Amino acid sequence: MRNFIRYTFLFLFPIVLVLLAIEIFYQIAPNNYTVKNENCATNYQNAEVLILGNSHSFYGLNPVCFDKQTFNLSNISQSMYFDKLLFDKHIDNFKKVKFLVLSIEYTSLSQLKNTDEDRWRKYYYKHYMDLEVPIIQSFDLNNWFVSGTKSFSSNLKLISRYFSEKTIVDCNKYGFGTNYTQHKRAADMEKSAAITIKRHEDNLTDFTENITAIESIIEKCKNKGIQVIIVTMPVTKNYAEKVNKEKLNKIFESALLLQKTNSNVFYLNLFSDSRFSNDDFYDADHLHNLGAKKCSKMVNDFINQKSAKTQF
Amino acid sequence: MLFNTVSFAVFFLIVFILYWFVFDRDLKKQNLFLLLASLFFYSCWNFKFTFLLLFSIGLDFYVGNKIYINTKNIAAKKRWLWLSIIINLSVLGVFKYYNFFIDNFIEIVTALGFKAHLWTLNLILPIGISFYTFHGLSYVIDVYKEKIKPVDSIIEYALFVSFFPLLVAGPIERATHLLPQIQKKRTFNYETAICGLRQILWGLFKKVVIADSCAEYVDLIFDNPSHYLGSTLVMGTILFSFQIYGDFSGYTDIALGVSRLLGIELLQNFSYPYFARDIAEFWRKWHISLSSWFRDYVYIPLGGSKSSKWIQVRNVFIVFMLIGFWHGANWTFIIYGFINFLYILPLVLFNENRRNIDVISVTGFKSGFKIFSSMIFTFGLVSFARIFFRSENVESAFTYISKMFSQSLFEFPEIFPKMIILILAVFMWIEWIGRQNRFAIEKLGFQWAKPFRIAFYYTLVLLILLFSGKELQFIYFQF
């Protein structure tokens, strides 16, 4: 038995060492989540506009383009479940926030908690953003080994990116996604749309879980005198043509109903807005940096308009 | 808790340490600990179904004793046997086949112009139910046939049925083989343990590198067969054959390796089936514990090959239909069984079914070519039948086949994963080299210098790590 343990240990030692090194990298290398978490705290005293949502608002709404001090707390594949958890955790600390921009996209209302990318991103929220995440079980091994949430080859790619680019952070201090630039945009939007819609289509039209979360956010905003701007971000024509129209209309109707039933809610639908062309997009459903500038100004104008009305 | 996850590695490490260092002095305590670990392992899937497993254990343990008590009372003995068979198969039937029978009954009744309103049940199939039901049945039948005496301890019996390496996807063990090992004090053996580790490594390689890589392409092709050329569909069937082999034999290798680390030898379930020279040999090498179970508990009791040719053909037919149906409540599996019956029929009729029973070896170019052609032909037959195995329903299987045999069969396939094909070639080469052993790398590299052997193992580990991350369910868990 002694020999068995010794030789097995010797054989496994280098492997464990490599895995440990990867885990240490995960623990110490700054990423979007850690950067957002840190900058979120620094914006507590100044931010007047807070943005929540997924990659569409992460890459599409640049706080620099807003007249009011803004912080973008949205993130890639951030579900409504995490929007709510982040909102509940931070909103009391944002002393000056007057507007909450909440993006509702084609996938936002139908994505159920703990599905899709939530299954592994949940650990990042817990580990890097200090969120209490009820869907994580206490004896789950990934509570302690964040690197275990991704495959070995993905981890190697990430580390190699870190060494070549010296960073894996893709957002600035205002929380805006910086790596979707115009010059890197997809060449074939039709192909991009076909691939994306295949990934996005879940054929679910029961929005109860997410509408309940939004209503809870709205209610809390109402109590704090915060206006909620629900935005549906623009997409390319190629993408818009491929979505399930029935489901899309149901999403719009849900947003309009929230506006109708809540005095502090305003809805801005940019989904098929004709002011955007395919040149504004990075891929089928994301704006690039210049498109984001255009979109952010529109949202800013909308906020200013609502701000003027409420002041009047 | 899948075998190829960190959770299982941690679970097994704890079990291994406690098993050898805490409970090793007292066999009863060691067995009790192993039983509790097995029940915990099973309850990780669905806690409620652990009670169904315990019911099955309790029933067969009780019946086994009753049969033994009534050894001289043939009628009572038979009654107890049938009670066990009926209850076991009823439980299996309700969970696995109820909806299938109801749906088909409704279709028939509707076709006859009547209306039928029968309830279908929204049941989850308890994982491993087909495997542990067959464990229990083999025990009861063996007690009935007086091949074994019933065990006195329910812990020993429960461990025989629920031993965690084999609980969810076999091999289907026999009481005559496993129970004596449970009842005997086990001592740690270095060579056996190292052999176990080697088999786990090879099993992980088969699952993660071979099966899961093929699965990506297989899913793509089988999900939309009408989008692809006939040649691509051929590629899909070939890749599926490797996927299912890598998946199931990989699982089995891990199960056998894990057991070996605990000092328990399980039955060999695969013996290089893709080197089979005819279909009869293939079924002696593929899922051996299932085909031999049907041989011993169905084929032979029905008369086997001892009666007339007609009776033998009938028995073979029954066995293959049952093998097909065992896999699941779907006509695709029944057709799969039937096709295999058709394949084996000429061999049975011309008494050629036991022609190839020796380990395959090739000497000379001429015999090499002949053997190689027969292996390829057998592999082709097996892969073709598996179109039914993999398809969602009979209609999609026929769509797949009709598209496959279209003119586009002779065009170059759109999907031709060079890297996977290269890996498959190397994999088959290693399997060929090791075909005389229990698993391909059992003795591979024994004559090499140690650094080369270690480098080979590290290469396997690296490949497993690089290909890991998909965490696909083992195919046979659904059966």
Residue B210 to residue B272: CA distance in whole angstroms: 15
A9 touches chain B (CB under 8 A): no
Give B471's Cβ-side CA count (13 Å radius): 14
SS3 for B66-119 is: HHHHCCCCHHHHHHHHHHHHHHHHHHHHHHHHHHHHHHHHHHHHHHCCCCCCCC
Pick A8's closest partner by Cβ from B197, B468, B469: B197
A23 touches chain B (CB under 8 A): no
Convert the pLDDT of each residue in B299-328 to its tens digit: 999 998 888 899 999 999 999 999 999 898
Convert the pLDDT of each residue in A48-76 to its tens digit: 999 999 999 999 999 999 999 999 999 99
DSSP state letters, A130-162: ----TTS-TT-GGGT-GGGGS-HHHHHHHHHHH
CA distances to B277, B368, B379 from B373, rounded to whole Å, are 8, 9, 10
Residue A295 to residue A248: CA distance in whole angstroms: 20
**Could A1 and B190 be called an inter-chain contact, meaning their C-beta atoms sit closer than 8 Å?**
yes
Residue B109 to residue A293: CA distance in whole angstroms: 65
**Could A3 and B193 be called an inter-chain contact, meaning their C-beta atoms sit closer than 8 Å?**
no
Residue A148 to residue A142: CA distance in whole angstroms: 6
**How many contiguous H segments (helices) and E segments (strands) does chain B have?**
20, 0
Pick B10's closest partner by Cβ from A7, A141, A150: A141
**Could B194 and A4 be called an inter-chain contact, meaning their C-beta atoms sit closer than 8 Å?**
yes
* Partners of residue A11 in chain B, C-beta under 8 Å: 454, 457
**Could A1 and B457 be called an inter-chain contact, meaning their C-beta atoms sit closer than 8 Å?**
no
Beta carbons of B21 and B13 less than 8 angstroms apart: no
Residue B86 to residue A125: CA distance in whole angstroms: 52
pLDDT of residue A309: 67
**Whole-prediction pTM value?**
0.85
Burial of B298 (0-12, 13-18, 19+ CB in 10 A): middle
Q: Which of A15-29, A245-259, B357-371 has the lowest mean pLDDT?
A: B357-371
* Partners of residue B44 in chain A, C-beta under 8 Å: none
pLDDT of residue A104: 95
Query: What is the chain A residue with the closest CA to B20?
Result: A1
Location of structure tokens 């812990």: B155
Residue B478 pLDDT class (50, 70, 90 cuts): low
Residue A296, pLDDT above cutoff 70: yes
Residue B196, pLDDT above cutoff 60: yes
Residue B435 to residue B429: CA distance in whole angstroms: 10
Beta carbons of B354 and B281 less than 8 angstroms apart: no
Beta carbons of B57 and B91 less than 8 angstroms apart: no
Convert the pLDDT of each residue in B261-299 to its tens digit: 999 999 999 999 999 999 999 999 999 999 999 999 999
Q: Which of A108-122, A293-307, B112-126 has the lowest mean pLDDT?
A: B112-126
Residue B458 to residue A17: CA distance in whole angstroms: 14
Average pLDDT of chain A? 92
Residue B367, pLDDT above cutoff 80: no
> Smallest CA–CA separation between B402 and chain A, in Å?
27
Residue B426, pLDDT above cutoff 90: yes
Residue B365, pLDDT above cutoff 80: no
> Smallest CA–CA separation between B424 and chain A, in Å?
20
Average pLDDT over residues A263-277: 94
Query: What is the chain B residue with the closest CA to A153?
Result: B466
pLDDT of residue B115: 75
Residue B227 DSSP code: G
> Smallest CA–CA separation between A155 and chain B, in Å?
10
pLDDT of residue B113: 81
CA distances to A183, B138, B145, B153 from B149, rounded to whole Å, are 78, 13, 10, 12
Residue A219 pLDDT class (50, 70, 90 cuts): very high
- Closest C-alpha to A258, from A235, A232, A224, A233: A232
Q: Which of A264-268, A281-285, B12-16, B306-310 has the lowest mean pLDDT?
A: B306-310
> Smallest CA–CA separation between B190 and chain A, in Å?
6
pLDDT of residue B471: 63
Location of structure tokens 């305003």: A266
Average pLDDT over residues A81-96: 94
In the residue annotation, B327 being an active-site residue is answered as: yes
**Could B469 and A1 be called an inter-chain contact, meaning their C-beta atoms sit closer than 8 Å?**
no
CA distances to A113, A146, B467 from B472, rounded to whole Å, are 21, 20, 12
Radius of gyration of chain B (CA): 23
Residue A311, pLDDT above cutoff 60: no
CB pairs under 8 A between A and B: 34
Convert the pLDDT of each residue in B21-77 to its tens digit: 999 889 999 999 999 999 999 999 888 899 999 999 999 999 999 999 998 898 999
Supply φ then ψ for residue A167, to 5 degrees.
-160, 155
Q: Model ipTM?
A: 0.79
Average pLDDT over residues B159-170: 91
Beta carbons of A291 and A183 less than 8 angstroms apart: no
**Could A1 and B188 be called an inter-chain contact, meaning their C-beta atoms sit closer than 8 Å?**
yes
Residue B472, pLDDT above cutoff 70: no
**Which site among B190, B192, B212, B223 would you substitute to test the A interface, given the most A Cβ atoms closer than 10 Å to its Cβ?**
B190
Average pLDDT of chain B? 91
pLDDT of residue A186: 86
* Partners of residue A15 in chain B, C-beta under 8 Å: 461, 465
Residue B3 pLDDT class (50, 70, 90 cuts): confident
Q: Which of A230-239, B2-11, B13-22, B307-316 has the lowest mean pLDDT?
A: B2-11
Pick A1's closest partner by Cβ from B7, B20, B197: B20
> Smallest CA–CA separation between A18 and chain B, in Å?
11
**Could B461 and A151 be called an inter-chain contact, meaning their C-beta atoms sit closer than 8 Å?**
no
Query: What is the chain A residue with the closest CA to B8?
Result: A141
Average pLDDT over residues A293-308: 92
Q: How many residues does this entry show for chain A? A: 312
Residue A312, pLDDT above cutoff 60: no
- List of E strands, B301-347: none
pLDDT of residue B452: 94
Beta carbons of A231 and A102 less than 8 angstroms apart: yes
pLDDT of residue B476: 67
Beta carbons of B434 and B442 less than 8 angstroms apart: yes
Query: What is the chain B residue with the closest CA to A7?
Result: B194
Convert the pLDDT of each residue in B380-401 to its tens digit: 999 999 999 999 999 999 999 9
* Partners of residue A154 in chain B, C-beta under 8 Å: 469
- Closest C-alpha to A202, from A79, A70, A109, A304: A109
